[in-house]
């Protein structure tokens, strides 16, 4: 079989996707990951480098990958004892399995020569990152709508749904950037939270400190803007829309834009998002202990999957084996369709971007089903 190696230049196509049990999968494909030797890598053997830096695959795999030419240095096959040097190009040719996402449509809400807005389903990243490339909003728009060369005006976390705005040219993107820097944009989200949220506008004005290692933000106790506390100044306004006594739907207006700001501010005021495992408790298990976080996929550019967990769904894997995709004998994920660690169920966060407004413009997105309390 002749292998066709893809790179980032290969556009996603409609036939790349498989829909199964409410999830959107990407048919595994051959891909060349390219990296350059970092200072801390220099002086290590090529096998030891990979075994130490990328522990998602066994040592024996890297030995075979180097010997077979699936790991190359400066486009040359090298021995397993080869010592790498700074700035050298390393290619890792992999059989790539992308994580699944919830099988929602990336629907176009508005389109004109300068701007396109879309409805982003929960669980789909906006742009290529970590193990995701085709299973992204940008990739799906390219595959299913032949839309490319977009400039994202803002981003949503992978588990968040709602409005996404893209500029279709650099001039329009620059116009949006200037409005953002001038503080002229108003952002509106809705969230479904625990308990009966208080009536009237509630303002949380508390510094937010993001811990990248844990993938989680913290509110500085007593922190207020300008008081010298750690973290970054953050302010969110909240207004209850409805409540059924158990949950409330709340309008959220972030004045600043810190990582996980709405989520952690809702936790801070005693009403966390009702299905937000990361912020429902102040004593969530450390990401560094379990190996994953709220958004699960923050892996390296060399595409090494997480170590397997105990949630493997054997019945799912048996069904996936019958699908039409290439099984590669060297692949550490085959014969399963998803990469290791992604066989379990996942639901979208009950947080949804409703509207963005600026000088002379406003774009909105329909509400999700969970916004209707019963």
Question: Does the residue 241 lie in any domain?
Answer: yes
pLDDT, tens digit, 9 for 90 and up, residues 124-172 = 999 998 899 999 999 999 999 999 899 999 999 999 999 999 999 999 9
Question: Does the residue 212 lie in any domain?
Answer: yes
Question: Does the residue 282 lie in any domain?
Answer: yes
The reported pLDDT for the residue numbered 56 is 85
Using alpha carbons, select from 238, 237, 191 the residue that is nearest to residue 371: 191
The token duo for 77 is: 């096959």
| Domain boundaries, position 268 | 186-223+230-287+347-371
Output the 3-class SS for 46-70.
HHHHHHHHCCCCCHHHHHHHHHCCC
pLDDT, tens digit, 9 for 90 and up, residues 185-216 = 999 999 999 999 999 999 999 999 999 888 99
**Residues known to be catalytic:** 157
The token duo for 336 is: 């399963």
Tokens 């959107």 sit at which residue?
24
The token duo for 13 is: 């196509």
State how far the Cα of 163 lies from the Cα of 142, in Å rounded to an integer. Answer: 18
Its pTM stands at 0.85
User: What CATH number corresponds to the domain at position 367?
Assistant: 3.30.2350.10
Question: Does the residue 205 lie in any domain?
Answer: yes
State how far the Cα of 163 lies from the Cα of 123, in Å rounded to an integer. Answer: 14
Question: Does the residue 169 lie in any domain?
Answer: no
Question: Does the residue 126 lie in any domain?
Answer: no
Helix (H) or strand (E) holding 171: helix 170-181
The reported pLDDT for the residue numbered 1 is 62
pLDDT, tens digit, 9 for 90 and up, residues 96-128 = 999 999 998 999 999 999 999 999 999 999 999
Question: Does the residue 245 lie in any domain?
Answer: yes
Q: Flag the least confident range among 14-23, 105-114, 219-228, 257-266.
A: 219-228
The 10 Å CB-count burial string (b at 16+, else e) for 292-303 is bbbbbbbbeebb
Question: Does the residue 131 lie in any domain?
Answer: no
Tally of domains in the chain = 1
């Amino acid at each position: 079989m002749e292998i066709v190696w893809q790179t980032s230049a290969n556009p996603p196509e409609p036939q790349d996707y498989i829909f199964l049990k409410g999830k959107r999968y990407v048919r595994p494909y051959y891909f060349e990951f390219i990296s350059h030797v970092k200072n801390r890598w220099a002086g290590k053997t090529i096998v030891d480098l990979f075994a130490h830096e990328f522990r998602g695959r066994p040592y024996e795999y890297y030995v075979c990958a180097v010997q077979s030419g699936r790991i190359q240095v400066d486009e040359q096959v090298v021995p397993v004892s080869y010592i790498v040097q700074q700035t050298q190009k390393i290619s890792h040719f992999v059989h790539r399995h992308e994580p699944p996402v919830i099988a929602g449509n990336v629907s176009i809400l508005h389109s004109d020569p300068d701007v396109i807005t879309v409805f982003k389903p929960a669980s789909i990243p906006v742009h290529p990152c970590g193990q995701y490339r085709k299973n992204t909003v940008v990739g799906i728009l390219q595959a299913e709508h032949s839309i490319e060369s977009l400039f994202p005006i803002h981003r949503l976390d992978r588990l968040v749904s709602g409005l996404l705005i893209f500029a279709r040219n650099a001039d329009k993107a620059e116009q949006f950037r200037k409005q953002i820097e001038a503080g002229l944009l108003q952002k509106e989200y809705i969230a479904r939270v625990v308990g009966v949220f208080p009536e009237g506008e509630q303002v949380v004005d508390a510094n937010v400190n993001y811990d990248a290692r844990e993938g989680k933000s913290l509110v500085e106790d007593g922190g207020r803007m300008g008081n010298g506390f750690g973290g970054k100044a953050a302010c969110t306004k909240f207004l209850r829309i409805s409540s059924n006594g158990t949950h409330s739907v709340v309008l959220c207006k972030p004045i600043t834009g810190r990582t996980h700001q709405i989520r952690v501010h809702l936790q801070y005021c005693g009403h966390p998002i009702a299905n937000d495992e990361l912020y429902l408790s102040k004593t969530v298990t450390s990401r560094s202990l379990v190996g994953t976080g709220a958004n699960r996929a923050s892996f390296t550019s060399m595409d090494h999957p997480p170590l397997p967990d105990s949630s493997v769904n054997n019945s799912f894997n048996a069904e996936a084996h019958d699908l039409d995709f290439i099984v590669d004998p060297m692949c550490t994920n085959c014969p399963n369709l998803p990469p290791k660690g992604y066989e379990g169920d996942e639901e979208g966060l009950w947080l949804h971007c409703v509207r963005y407004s600026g000088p002379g413009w406003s774009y909105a997105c329909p509400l999700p089903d969970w916004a209707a309390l019963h």
